[in-house]
């Protein structure tokens, strides 16, 4: 599903990171992005995770930490 891939890229994270944060496998993320075949619960996990992340472009370069 292109929506998932576009959101993931906008957030600046890898498929592996999205999988880890969402509690699914990398294969599941890859399948979701490329074929769009996934359970509704998987879609919700991915979208909820992506929506909870700050966009990479809006993240501070040096937060002083």
Identify the CATH number of the domain in which residue 27 sits: 1.10.260.40
Q: Which two tokens stand for residue 39?
A: 């359970």
Question: Tens digits of per-residue pLDDT, 18-30?
Answer: 999 999 999 999 9
Question: Tens digits of per-residue pLDDT, 53-65?
Answer: 876 555 555 555 4
Q: Which two tokens stand for residue 42?
A: 């998987």
- CB–CB of 51/5 below 8 Å? no
Residue 20 maps to a domain = yes
Residue 10 maps to a domain = yes
Residue 15 maps to a domain = yes
Residue 32 maps to a domain = yes
Report d(CA 51, CA 44) in Å as an integer. 10
The mean per-residue pLDDT over the stretch 41-48 comes to 94
**pTM for the structure as a whole:** 0.80
Owning domain of residue 32? 2-52
- Could you count the other beta carbons within 10 Å of the beta carbon of residue 32? 26
Residue 11 maps to a domain = yes
Residue 16 maps to a domain = yes
Domain count of the chain?
Answer: 1
């Amino acid at each position: 599903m292109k929506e998932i891939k576009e959101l993931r890229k906008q957030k600046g994270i890898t498929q592996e990171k999205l999988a880890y944060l969402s509690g699914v496998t990398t294969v599941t993320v890859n399948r979701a992005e490329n074929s769009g075949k996934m359970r509704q619960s998987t879609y919700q996990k991915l979208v909820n995770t992506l929506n909870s992340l700050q966009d990479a472009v809006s993240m501070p370069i040096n937060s002083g930490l």
